[in-house]
Structure 1
Amino acid sequence: MASILIVDDEPNNFDVIETLLSDRDDDLHYASNGKSAIASLDLFAPDLILLDVMMPELNGVEVCQQIKAMPKWTATPIVMVTALSSKEDLARCLEAGADDFISKPINRLELRARVQSMLRIKSQYDELQTLLKSREDMVNMMVHDLRNPLMGILFGLYVVERGDLPLKLKDKVSRSLIAAQRLQALIDDLILMGKMEQSQIQLHRTKVDLGGALGSAIERFTPIAAQKNIELIGRLPEPGSVVNADDTLFQRVLDNLLSNAIKFSPSSSEIVLAAELTAAGEAQIQVADAGPGVAEELKESIFKKYETGTRMAEVSQIGLGLAFCKMVVEAHGGQIGVRPNQPRGTIFEIRLPAMSL
């Protein structure tokens, strides 16, 4: 049984639609204006909204815009019911986010066809979301299950690395350990992203020394950068520069940005990690490399899950690192972006409100 919300300031129009759909097994609800319609969304949980355009206070176009701006209801089909017939008016309805429209006076066959079409689309969307949720749950379960065997591998590599080994073999063990640590970081990122998407993670803010955090990140990644003869340069803020941060998540953001920079930087180049507090107390952190750069059309998409930008041979690109950084930074009220590094390369920049991260 589908739930249909009919929004019209004329009760008689609801009676007409109810009569035209009387042989369908739908649950019809009525709202007499836009405000009450928006307020009743959670109560009626509509699968479809039939929305009158010409209403006092909030007109149908404004109501449509507000509903489509709500993440929970953005996929709910909205059919505009209107006496307007000009192409400009219909275009305004579609630009506001409406999925379809039907003209007054309402024709029974047309109404039924449009209702059936929109409900079919909504049903397909719901089935897809269920499938995606099941797949996400399965992935999360597999990711959790990978942790235990990986910890055994890491422990074994730690023990072997500290043993008395030939120099050549010791180097290979060290490389294997670094690869295993990267895999561990990826698994942790996946778990954290899943929790953040479901609003299950809480930020544990403490006063974090900005210079100390950057220095620790450089120390962690110097051995990895050395494998490509890349020099990590730190431009640290003035002593005493402090941010109110979830230290663990903040360090992981720095790790992901440095890891990306090393992957895409050519051998024998430099990566600069810099930070400062602005006069307004805002924290500004930059990671600058000399890699291939990011195309203008990809500057937004690279921060989405599983988006990798330009593919590069022999470079592992999963598309989770930057998505993780964006989620963490925005959870703390900040912004992350990318711009060109002159004469070549990329600068990833994080801007955080004063004492917010």
Structure 2
Amino acid sequence: MSTPALAARRRTPRGAAAFAVLALLLAAGLLLWSKWLPYSARVGELSGTHAWSGSSVLAGASIEAGSGPSPAAGWEFTKVYALAVWKALVAGLVIAAAVQTLVPRRWLTAVLRRRSRPSSALVGGLLSTPSMMCSCCTAPVATALRRSGAPTAGVVAYWLGNPLLNPAVLVFLVLVAPWQWAATRFVVGALLVVGGSALVARLAGDRVAASAVDEVAAQHEEGRDEGPRRFLPVLARMSAYLVPEYLVVVFAVGTFAGWLFPLGESARSWGVLGVLVALVLGLLLVIPTAGEVPLTQGLATAGFGPAVVGALLIALPAVSLPSAVMVVGALGRRVVGWTMVVVAAGSLVSAGLLTVLV
């Protein structure tokens, strides 16, 4: 029997608990640095002004609605986006490595694998609220959870819950937007995180990509990726394949962002077509945490109706093309595909709900 396997088997309960506490402290410190302190300061600022300062990531990259493909715009978009999310991405990668190496897999499965899919989704959603990441930055953690054997419902709920149930963004909306926006986001977001994630698991058969199954089996057999000695190698390996593909897809999205976001002034009269366009672009476009706030406010100011705003309040933060690419290797195409479909349906519900409330 190999030495790593013996080490994994000889780990005492006290040692396992110590490693888990280390992972928890590491996660708390990273989130304090990247999320909790900055958002606390932002809440204090908005409490005094009740007006959002700053522009959307599209405006920051000087991308105009309907403009043609531009590699220069793609590069500028990538820079603006990277500057906005780099802290959260670092936190996501480090936390993901800690999940795979420091937290015993049996503990993760015990927490997330419940008797029913909705129960697993509820736990995953609750675990997501403190981290408050965008869909891309939480993708490494979702990948680590799935590769550690966590069930589909819990992992998808964690992935969706980070952006949709982000308590800081809900407070931002309460402070700078009509109350109906925050109410719609919370109600539809909670429905998607719990009910939608359970539905995705049911529709996809709770399957995981074959490559991920093989990797998890090999890790269990050989004792790999467990223990603090594996932390840096796992972090390096995860960064080496996730970060490059992430940046490439973000660059591609930025290059074609003018086409992906054709909602100029002429689109105000599109009616139902405008809502469908908003839904599709929301599923593809990548934004930093709270990036939907200035973007939807800008559209509302330009005369777009509540249906378009409601669709984007869900579709924009929930998923994106880069985040889907990042998690597909662990979750599988069926799970990612059904997640996109369920989010699209939730966006339509959000459009209808906000229209009724307003």
Q: TM-score, normalised by structure 1?
A: 0.30
Q: TM-score, normalised by structure 2?
A: 0.30
| Structure with the larger helix share | 2
Higher relative contact order structure (alpha carbons within 8 Å, sequence separation ≥ 6): 2
Larger Rg: 1
| Structure with the larger strand share | 1
